[in-house]
C-alpha cells in the first residue's frame, strides 16, 4: 500500500479480519431465526441491516479517507461466506454492500465526496440489467430514463449505481435515492430476502463527475483508484469483484450441509427402520458434499491470494491468467449448485416443507448460481481460448 494510503486514519481503529469474521459468526443464530421472515417479507429486517452497519461490514473495502478499513478482498469473502451459512439472502446483500462501497471508491473524487458527505455509513445498491433505457448527453452530464432490474438491498440504499445506462454504453452512473422510484416486482423462487426490486428513472440528470467509464474499470485505471492508491484498484475491477457471489454460495452450501446433517440425526429409513446416520450411502454423500465445499473454499482462497499478490506487484498478468479469476469463480458457483442438488436428494421428502431451512438453501443457491457474472460456459470458453492463444470472444 502506498505511503499516502497508510497515512490516512479512520475515526476509530479498524477491526482486524479475525474480529470481523467473529462478528459475522456471532450473528448466525439471529440470521437463522430471521431467514423465514426475510423470505416471507421479501427483504431483510431493519435490525439485520443495522447489525451489519454496527459491525462495519460495509467498510471492509471502503477507503480509509472516508472512514473505511481498506482490508483485503479475502476478509470480505470470509465475512460474506460466514453470514451466508445462516441466511443466504443476508450473505448476498452483505456482499453487495461491501462491494458497492468499493465501487464508489473508484469513481472520480468529486462523486465520492458527494456520496460520503453525510457520513461514512452510506449504503449503495446497483442495478445492472435494463429492460429499457435512454441516455442523452447534455451540458455538464447526461439525462437518464429507463427501468433497471435486480437492485438487491435497494430498501436500505442511500445511493444507486446504474450500469449500462443505454444500449450502447456500459459505463456506471451514480444516482441518489431521491432521483428514482423503486417498484416492487420481486416475487421469485429463491433469494427472496434480497429485495432485488426494479428501479425507475425518469429524465434524471447525472453530472459528468458521477460517471465511471467501463474502459477504466477493465484496465484498473480508474480516477478514484489512482487517488486512493489502494493496490487492489490496479486490477481490472471484475477480477476481485466477481468473488462476492461465489463466497455467498459457498456459505449457503455449508449451511445447507449442516442442516442436512442435523435433519438425519435420529431419523429412520421408512421401510427398513435403519438409522439414517448408520447408512453407508449417507455417510459417503455427506462426506462428498463437505469435500466439494472445502475444495471450493480452497479454490476461492487461492484465487484471492493470487489477486492480492498481483495487485501488490502493481500489474495484472496477461494471457491465460487474465481469465483465471472468472473461470474459477464460475466453476465454484457451478460446483455449489451440484452440491445443493445432491444434498436435497439425500435429505429426503421432509426437507421440502417451508419450515425446513434445507429447501430455502437449495432454492437460494439455485437462483444465485444463475447470476450473469457466473456463466460457466462463457468463462471456460475464454479460458480455453487463451490456452491456445486465441483472442476472447468479443475481443475483450
Give per-residue pLDDT as tens, 254-293.
999 999 999 999 998 888 889 999 999 999 999 999 999 9
126-130 mean pLDDT: 87
> pLDDT by residue (tens digit) across 319-365?
798 899 999 999 999 999 999 999 999 998 889 999 999 999 999 99
CA distance 145 to 274: 62
Are 166 and 211 contacting, i.e. CB atoms less than 8 angstroms apart?
A: no
Kindly state whether residues 179 and 63 are assigned to the same domain. no
Kindly state whether residues 262 and 374 are assigned to the same domain. yes
Closest by CA position to 67, among listed 76, 75, 59, 55: 59
CA angle, residues 92, 364, 340, in degrees to nearest 5: 120
Kindly state whether residues 319 and 273 are assigned to the same domain. yes
Q: How confident is the model at residue 128 (pLDDT cuts 50, 70, 90)?
A: confident
Phi then psi dihedrals of residue 196, to 5 deg: -85, 75
Q: What is the distance, to the nearest Å, from the Cα of residue 121 to the centroid of all Cα atoms in its chain?
A: 18
Kindly state whether residues 206 and 162 are assigned to the same domain. yes
Kindly state whether residues 264 and 391 are assigned to the same domain. yes
Kindly state whether residues 248 and 364 are assigned to the same domain. yes
Kindly state whether residues 248 and 389 are assigned to the same domain. yes
Kindly state whether residues 111 and 160 are assigned to the same domain. no
Supply the pLDDT for residue 11.
54
User: Does residue 6 register a pLDDT over 50?
Assistant: no
Are 73 and 244 contacting, i.e. CB atoms less than 8 angstroms apart?
A: no
Which of 102, 121, 140 terminates a domain? The answer is 121
Half-sphere exposure of 377 (CA within 13 A, CB side): 1
**Percentage with pLDDT > 70 across the chain:** 96
| 157 found inside a domain | yes
Please give the C-alpha separations between residue 308 and each of 4, 289, 295, in angstroms, as whole numbers.
19, 29, 20
| 232 found inside a domain | no
Q: Is 14 left (phi over 0), alpha (psi -120 to 50) or beta?
A: beta
Please give the C-alpha separations between residue 141 and each of 144, 210, 213, 286, in angstroms, as whole numbers.
10, 9, 13, 56
| 248 found inside a domain | yes
Are 81 and 247 contacting, i.e. CB atoms less than 8 angstroms apart?
A: yes
> pLDDT by residue (tens digit) across 87-107?
999 999 999 999 999 999 999
Phi then psi dihedrals of residue 198, to 5 deg: -85, 150
**Torsion sign, CA atoms 290, 254, 304, 378:** positive
148-157 mean pLDDT: 97
Domain of residue 303, residue span: 238-395
CA angle, residues 228, 231, 235, in degrees to nearest 5: 110
CA distance 343 to 261: 10
| 230 found inside a domain | no
Q: Which residues of 10-23 are buried (b: 16+ CB within 10 A; e: fewer)?
A: beeebbebeebbeb
- Distance spanning both ends of the chain, measured CA to CA: 29
Kindly state whether residues 320 and 381 are assigned to the same domain. yes
CA distance 210 to 175: 8
CA distance 168 to 300: 33
| CATH (domain of 361) | 1.20.140.10
* Count of residues in the chain: 396
> pLDDT by residue (tens digit) across 373-386?
999 999 999 999 99
**Torsion sign, CA atoms 325, 327, 333, 335:** negative
| CATH (domain of 107) | 1.10.540.10
Residues 6+ apart with CB under 8 A from 385: 391, 392, 393
Phi then psi dihedrals of residue 25, to 5 deg: -65, -40
Phi then psi dihedrals of residue 226, to 5 deg: -70, -35
Q: How confident is the model at residue 212 (pLDDT cuts 50, 70, 90)?
A: very high
Kindly state whether residues 316 and 369 are assigned to the same domain. yes
Kindly state whether residues 251 and 383 are assigned to the same domain. yes
CA distance 307 to 230: 13
| 224 found inside a domain | no
Q: How confident is the model at residue 316 (pLDDT cuts 50, 70, 90)?
A: low
286-312 mean pLDDT: 96
Kindly state whether residues 166 and 304 are assigned to the same domain. no
What crossing angle do the helices spanning 28-41 and 357-368 adopt, rounded to 10°?
70
Which of 178, 213, 248 terminates a domain? The answer is 213
157-169 mean pLDDT: 94
Per the structure, how many domains does the chain have? 3
| CATH (domain of 169) | 2.40.110.10
Which of 121, 143, 171 terminates a domain? The answer is 121
Pull the grid cell for residue 270.
421408512
> pLDDT by residue (tens digit) across 11-64?
568 899 999 999 999 999 999 999 999 999 999 999 999 999 999 999 999 999
Supply the pLDDT for residue 370.
96
Amino acid at each position: 500500500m502506498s505511503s499516502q494510503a497508510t497515512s490516512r486514519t479512520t475515526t476509530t481503529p479498524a477491526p482486524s479480519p479475525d474480529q470481523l469474521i467473529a462478528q459475522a459468526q456471532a450473528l448466525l443464530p439471529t440470521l437463522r431465526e430471521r431467514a423465514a421472515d426475510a423470505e416471507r417479507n421479501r427483504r431483510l429486517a431493519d435490525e439485520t441491516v443495522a447489525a451489519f452497519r454496527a459491525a462495519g461490514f460495509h467498510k471492509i473495502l471502503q477507503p480509509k479517507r472516508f472512514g473505511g478499513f481498506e482490508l483485503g478482498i479475502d476478509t470480505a469473502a470470509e465475512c460474506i461466506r460466514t453470514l451466508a451459512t445462516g441466511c443466504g439472502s443476508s450473505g448476498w446483500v452483505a456482499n453487495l454492500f461491501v462491494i458497492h462501497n468499493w465501487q464508489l471508491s473508484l469513481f472520480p473524487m468529486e462523486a465520492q465526496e458527494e456520496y460520503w458527505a453525510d457520513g461514512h455509513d452510506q449504503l449503495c445498491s446497483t442495478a445492472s440489467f435494463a429492460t429499457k433505457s435512454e441516455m442523452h448527453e447534455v451540458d455538464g452530464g447526461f439525462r437518464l430514463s429507463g427501468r433497471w432490474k435486480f437492485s438487491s438491498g435497494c430498501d436500505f440504499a442511500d445511493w444507486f449505481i446504474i450500469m449500462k445506462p443505454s444500449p450502447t454504453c456500459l459505463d456506471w452512473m451514480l444516482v441518489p435515492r431521491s432521483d428514482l422510484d423503486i417498484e416492487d416486482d420481486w416475487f421469485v423462487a429463491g433469494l427472496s430476502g434480497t429485495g432485488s426490486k426494479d428501479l425507475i428513472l425518469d429524465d434524471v440528470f447525472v453530472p459528468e463527475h458521477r460517471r465511471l467509464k467501463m474502459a477504466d474499470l477493465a484496465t484498473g485505471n480508474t480516477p478514484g483508484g489512482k487517488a486512493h492508491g489502494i493496490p487492489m484498484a490496479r486490477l481490472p475491477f471484475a477480477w476481485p469483484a466477481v468473488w462476492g457471489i461465489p463466497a455467498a454460495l459457498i456459505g449457503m452450501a455449508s449451511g445447507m450441509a449442516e442442516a442436512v446433517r442435523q435433519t438425519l440425526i435420529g431419523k429412520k429409513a421408512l421401510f427398513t427402520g435403519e438409522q439414517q446416520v448408520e447408512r453407508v450411502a449417507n455417510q459417503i454423500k455427506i462426506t462428498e458434499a463437505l469435500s466439494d465445499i472445502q475444495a471450493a473454499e480452497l479454490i476461492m482462497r487461492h484465487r484471492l491470494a493470487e489477486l492480492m499478490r498481483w495487485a501488490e506487484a502493481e500489474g495484472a498478468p496477461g494471457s491465460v491468467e487474465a481469465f483465471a479469476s472468472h473461470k474459477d469463480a464460475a466453476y465454484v458457483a457451478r460446483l455449489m449448485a451440484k452440491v445443493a442438488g445432491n444434498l436435497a436428494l439425500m435429505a429426503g421428502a421432509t426437507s421440502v416443507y417451508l419450515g425446513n431451512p434445507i429447501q430455502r438453501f437449495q432454492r437460494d443457491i439455485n437462483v444465485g448460481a444463475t447470476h450473469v457474472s457466473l456463466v460457466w460456459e462463457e468463462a471456460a470458453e475464454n479460458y480455453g481460448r487463451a490456452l491456445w492463444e486465441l483472442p476472447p470472444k468479443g475481443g475483450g
